[in-house]
Amino acid sequence: MKRVFVFDIDDTLYDQLRAFKRAVENLQIGNQKALDIPSLYQLMKKYGDETFSSTGFDKEKLREMHVFRIKRTLQEYGIKINSKQAMQFQLDFEEYQNDIELFPRMEELLDLLVAEKQVVGVITNGTIDKQVKKIKALKLHKWIPKNNILISESIGVSKPKKSIFKCFEKALSLSSKNEIYYIGDNYLNDVLGPKAVGWNTIWVNYREHNKPIGCKADYIVQDPKSLYGLIAKLIKT
């Protein structure tokens, strides 16, 4: 039976933490060995997610958000940087995201989905310019048709809003939601969002976040190997 597997990109198909770590190291902010980089990263994502909905896709507002989120994150650790440093951090962060690769087993998983003639797609938040660069760096067009990739800026709506998932359904003429699976790392965007329109969800909880009370994810995996095993099983079911 043909199913539809739709992926998030950041921290689902590749590890964005690596680019973040390299950008933080460039800041030269003292005793970096004392910093918990994964926690710092999650905190920055939290502040970014909280402010993203109010910025829209206005480039000036997005830059203000980028400056704010890293400055606010470092304040939690008693570290102050100025706006110029914060902007340089963001530029470095973006640059290092051009040097990325798929998680282990992810290429094998995409090969399997194509070989089994499953429908593969992407829904990702972000600007067209940034996300297209990541798509090219990861060589996703090898497995995923261009028409199956939806970047939020292209329609002016971001996850977790229902309309972005409905737009994907319409674009691919999908009728049976029972066979659609969304795979992503962000609980709000990638579980609650697609669940609201009736999709199945696979929460890739690689960072081992606490499971929310009444967790709505249909499946939870802790690593790419487990994701491969789960999807291989779903295909055969």
In the chain, DSSP finds a helix count (H) and a strand count (E) of 10, 6
Q: Which residues of 194-208 are buried (b: 16+ CB within 10 A; e: fewer)?
A: bbebebbbbbbbbee
In contact, 222 and 208? CB cutoff 8 Å: yes
Of 49, 65, 96, which one is at a domain's C-terminal end? 96
Domain termination site, one of 96, 112, 135:
96
- Mark whether 144 and 106 lie in a shared domain: yes
Does 20 lie in the same domain as 8? no
Q: How many structural domains does the chain have?
A: 2
Q: Over the stretch 101-123, which tens digit does the pLDDT of each residue have?
A: 999 999 999 999 999 999 999 99
Positive or negative CA dihedral for 230, 15, 168, 222? positive
Q: Please check whether residues 82 and 143 belong to one and the same domain.
A: no
Domain with residue 113: its CATH number is 3.40.50.1000
The closest of 10, 11, 12 to 231, measured between CA atoms, is: 12
The larger pLDDT score, comparing residue 177 to residue 213, is at 213
pTM: predicted TM-score of the whole model, two decimal places: 0.94
Give yes or no for residue 137 having a pLDDT over 80.
yes
Q: What whole-number distance in Å separates Cα of residue 172 and Cα of residue 80?
A: 47
If asked whether residues 24 and 8 sit together in one domain, one would say no
22-69 pLDDT per residue, tens: 999 999 877 666 788 999 999 999 888 887 766 777 788 889 999 999
pLDDT the model gives residue 52: 74
Q: Are residues 145 and 40 in the same domain?
A: no
Note the pLDDT tens digit of each residue in 178-219: 899 999 999 999 999 999 999 999 999 999 899 999 999 999
User: Which pair of structure tokens corresponds to residue 95?
Assistant: 């640059």
**pLDDT, mean of residues 161-187:** 93
